[in-house]
Amino acid sequence: MLPGMSSVDPNWLPSTLAQSTAALVAIVGGFLVGRLVSLAGEATALAHRLDELDERRRLRAAALLEVHRERLDVSEQWFREHHLEDFVRAEGAVDVDAAVESFIPLGSSAAEMRPYAATLADAVREAFDLIRQLYPAPKLPPRKFPHAVDELAGVPQDVYEQVAGRLIDQRRSRVLPFQAMISSPRGDVIYRRQDARIAREEELRAEVTMLEAERVLLDDQRSRMARPEGVRGGLIVLGLFAALGVVFPMIVMSLRPVPSGPGVRVSLILAFVVGFVALTGYMVSQVRTLRTRAAPATAD
């Protein structure tokens, strides 16, 4: 070594670059970790919100099903009272569509009543067939439903009694004007109750629809949270910067003797610059993304 010249530590450049890179990685990594922690908290809150929403939807759906069943039972009863006379007179051979179109109970629809009308027509036909088999002419069937006859267990009691009365009149050769089954008159209270069921059913259906729509939105939000925008890119950039600015200088410092030629110094600086540019580009892209998201809100 020449007199008057001090020795220079060859580790100063890689050590300085490694420390600078580590500091920058720690700062940016802290922001990313904070965001991940925030996302984890939001995901937990969202999971609780989804559980609460599912429970509310389950309760509303159960209430809707109960009210719908009550309203439909009343509608079917009214349809039965209105059409049973015609169905028995025709022995079940009726035009179901025409019967439905001629009378649709309050709060129901043709599509809702059509299956019930077909079932009622089938029940009338089966009742005629069974009664004729069990009580062939000129034998008269009992007017009251014979509970002891197992073969008639599947026949509704009111249908049996109407069909049996029809057959008795036919076999006695005195087909009288059909006597419809006796039912209590429906007053305003009955209609008001049905109106209340209809209103409650519509209200519950609207609530269930709203809850289902909210569930779809929350599912979409959860799927976006599972793929946080910018986090993966940030981790990749930090990994690249750490490899170029920390790992590479440490490898250089681990060599013996420590290389200190111009080529090594240029390589170290170039690696640091590449990593720093990548990190800066990532930060700029995130700022632009935030501005793009804020622009519509500002315009509104």
Per residue, what are the HEC states of 20-72? HHHHHHHHHHHHHHHHHHHHHHHHHHHHHHHHHHHHHHHHHHHHHHHHHHHHH
Helix H, strand E, coil C: the string for 210-252 is HHHHHHHHHHHHHHHHHCCCCHHHHHHHHHHHHHHHHHHHHHH
Rg from Cα positions in the chain: 42
Q: How far apart are CA 11 and CA 41, in angstroms?
A: 44
Q: What is the pLDDT at residue 186?
A: 57
Task: Point out the domain boundary residue: 206, 233, 248.
Answer: 206
The verdict on 144 and 186 lying in the same domain is yes
The verdict on 278 and 256 lying in the same domain is yes
The verdict on 228 and 288 lying in the same domain is yes
The verdict on 287 and 151 lying in the same domain is no
Taking the model in full, what pTM does it have?
0.64
The verdict on 103 and 201 lying in the same domain is yes
The total number of structural domains in the chain stands at 2
Q: What is the pLDDT at residue 295?
A: 64
The verdict on 64 and 195 lying in the same domain is yes
Q: How far apart are CA 109 and CA 149, in angstroms?
A: 37
For the stretch 215-273, pLDDT in tens is 999 988 888 877 777 788 888 999 998 999 999 999 988 888 888 888 888 999 999 99
Q: What is the pLDDT at residue 2?
A: 45
Q: What is the pLDDT at residue 262?
A: 87
What 8-state DSSP symbol labels residue 228?
-
What 8-state DSSP symbol labels residue 184?
P
On whether the CB atoms of residues 86 and 99 are closer than 8 A, the answer is yes
Containing domain of residue 127, as a range?
Answer: 58-206
CB atoms within 10 A of CB 298: 7
Is 2 domain-assigned?
no
The verdict on 167 and 247 lying in the same domain is no
The verdict on 43 and 114 lying in the same domain is no
Is 214 domain-assigned?
no
Q: What is the pLDDT at residue 271?
A: 92
Is 37 domain-assigned?
yes
Q: What is the pLDDT at residue 107?
A: 86
**Exposed/middle/buried for residue 245 (C-beta within 10 Å: 0-12, 13-18, 19+):** buried
The verdict on 236 and 267 lying in the same domain is yes
Q: What is the pLDDT at residue 33?
A: 87
Residues of the chain with pLDDT under 50: 1-6, 175-184, 297-300
